[in-house]
């Protein structure tokens, strides 16, 4: 059974198997477009503002 999805960038059909090594994208171009969107912060993962502070708070020296 082969699963077929849509490329998240251009919506072209993509088979989820070894014949599409760029999956879930249809091409290296669509993969780079998506990477650029993450780098430009067009895509974000929701979180609280204080999450980053808690993550790095142990790295700082206490006065």
Mean pLDDT of the 8-19 span: 89
Residue 57, pLDDT > 60, answer no
Q: Is 46 helix (H, G, I), strand (E, B) or coil?
A: coil
Q: Give the pLDDT score at 44.
A: 83
**Could you tell me which residues are annotated as the binding site for Zn(2+)?**
7, 10, 26, 30
Q: Is 6 helix (H, G, I), strand (E, B) or coil?
A: strand
Q: Distance between CA 63 and CA 53 in Å, rounded?
A: 17
pTM, to two decimals = 0.64
Q: Give the pLDDT score at 54.
A: 61
**Could you tell me which residues are annotated as the binding site?**
7, 10, 26, 30
CB under 8 Å to 30, separation ≥6 — which residues?
7, 8, 9, 10, 12, 22
CATH number at residue 50: 3.30.50.10
* 14, part of any domain: yes
* 62, part of any domain: no
Q: Which domain holds residue 34?
A: 4-57
- Could you count the other beta carbons within 10 Å of the beta carbon of residue 14? 22
């Amino acid at each position: 059974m082969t699963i077929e999805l849509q490329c998240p960038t251009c919506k072209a059909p993509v088979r989820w198997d070894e014949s599409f090594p760029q999956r879930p994208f249809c091409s290296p171009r669509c993969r780079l477009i998506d990477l650029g969107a993450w780098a430009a912060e067009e895509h974000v993962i929701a979180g609280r503002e204080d999450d980053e502070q808690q993550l790095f708070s142990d790295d700082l020296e206490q006065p």
